[in-house]
Amino acid sequence: MMVLNSQDDVPIAGPAKVRSSSSPPSDQAPFQEQEVLSWDVAMGPRKEGWQRLTMLPPTMARLALNGVGTVGAVAGYTVGKCGEALGAGKAIDSPAFQASFRAWMWANGIFPEVQYEPLGEEMGKFVAQELGLARPPAASDISITPVLVSNHVSVLDGLVLASTFSAPKVVAKSKCKHIPMLGKLMKESDAVFVDSGKSDSRHTTLDAIVGHCREWQPGQRPLLIFPEGTMTNGHEVVDFKKGAFVAGLPVRPTIVVYTGHFDPANTTYKMTDRGPRKVGPVEWARQFWGHYIHSVHVRVLPPYFPSPEEKAYPQIYAKNCQELMASELQRVRSELYKRSWQQSAGRTGGGMDYQCGDEVRTASRHLSSFFASLGCFGREC
């Protein structure tokens, strides 16, 4: 199992301990005796106790809006197909479909924001030289590397990044071809399908990735890969598999951070007042439908060009990229917190986004700081 470097056990209140380990909990051991991997525990906010009573209105609103959003997405795709028939390019690349897909996301309360970190003059010139471009590319151009690599937190990641990056290629199981609508969209985005039922599926996947990288040209659709191979709580980046790096070509690192009042991490456990507790897909779905807004920040880093050693040894390439992204994740989370309502209001709970009453809490903190600076805080002036 892929984890960060082993650390000493960190005791957590309750019957289970959270630790980093390469050994999964035994299925035969009682839960009270199991040790839980730290990255496999959702640490963010969820509605508990009496707060669950407030989940009904968002659920009803989501049901209504999802229907409207789905109709809009189908209409946008239909318009895109008409344009495709007239030679205007693929339907999924059409402005009509992309706008309708974003509208469907908004109807489900998913609001991504994307920030591209500047390439800088030196990096821009280097990229242009490596790719044979006439001038340095824009930081927002995601077609300057054959592969995008991202940390993996939730099943929402694929939707968020597909919307953000206008449907990049993905590696998918061959049976996904037959999923209504989704399979068709994946085919149109030139998804790389792999038969996971075969004994050599891992080698087939690696061959498919290498094949994409060899055929890729600047300006073409990149391949999106989640190199962790699992979903984490979004606070850590665990060890990468080598698949995204075997071709020895540059990758574009991307960081995903959820900032809303529901932590959508698809982990095995969630943290409670009594320690880690298992959470299933039904509970996750209830929480998703029971919140109005699911905001997410996508930070796109400059391209990572491998050194000669990294080109020769994919394991080293994967390790170095993982360490970079783990460090960048902490930086991005810190930046988001410092400019968040949570920090401004001095809240310890909830998400980073605005929560009712935050403006009052913020004003109170500013007044307290003002009086403290005058030396009369806590006593008559």
Report whether pLDDT(9) > 90.
no
- What pLDDT digit, counting tens, does each position of 56-88 carry? 999 999 889 988 888 998 899 899 989 988 888
Q: Tell me the pLDDT of the chain averaged across its residues.
A: 85
- What pLDDT digit, counting tens, does each position of 152-201 carry? 999 999 989 998 998 888 877 677 777 777 777 788 877 777 776 666 77
- What pLDDT digit, counting tens, does each position of 317-366 carry? 999 999 999 999 999 999 999 999 999 999 988 899 988 898 899 998 88
- What pLDDT digit, counting tens, does each position of 94-135 carry? 899 899 999 999 999 999 999 999 999 999 999 999 999 999
- What pLDDT digit, counting tens, does each position of 86-98 carry? 888 888 888 998 9
Confidence at residue 284, expressed as pLDDT on a 0 to 100 scale? 93
Average pLDDT over every residue of 291-317: 96
Confidence at residue 18, expressed as pLDDT on a 0 to 100 scale? 53
Which residue has tokens 């996750």? 284
Neighbouring residues of 172: CB distance < 8 A, sequence distance ≥ 6 = 186, 191, 192, 193, 194
Confidence at residue 26, expressed as pLDDT on a 0 to 100 scale? 37
Which residue has tokens 């056990």? 9
pLDDT category of residue 380 using cuts at 50, 70 and 90: low
The CB-side HSE value for 152 (13 A sphere, CA atoms) comes to 19
Confidence at residue 15, expressed as pLDDT on a 0 to 100 scale? 38
Average pLDDT over every residue of 210-217: 92
- What pLDDT digit, counting tens, does each position of 298-309 carry? 999 999 999 999
Question: With 0-12 CB in 10 A as exposed, 13-18 as middle and 19+ as buried, what is 181?
Answer: exposed
Neighbouring residues of 269: CB distance < 8 A, sequence distance ≥ 6 = 16, 36, 40, 41, 42, 276, 277, 278, 279
pLDDT category of residue 202 using cuts at 50, 70 and 90: confident
Confidence at residue 187, expressed as pLDDT on a 0 to 100 scale? 80
Average pLDDT over every residue of 32-48: 83
Spatial CA neighbour of 131 closest among 41, 222, 230, 5: 222
Kindly report the pTM of this predicted structure.
0.84
Confidence at residue 197, expressed as pLDDT on a 0 to 100 scale? 64
Neighbouring residues of 251: CB distance < 8 A, sequence distance ≥ 6 = 145, 146, 147, 148, 149, 244, 245, 303, 304, 321
Average pLDDT over every residue of 51-59: 91
Spatial CA neighbour of 120 closest among 267, 270, 301: 301
Confidence at residue 19, expressed as pLDDT on a 0 to 100 scale? 53
Confidence at residue 376, expressed as pLDDT on a 0 to 100 scale? 57
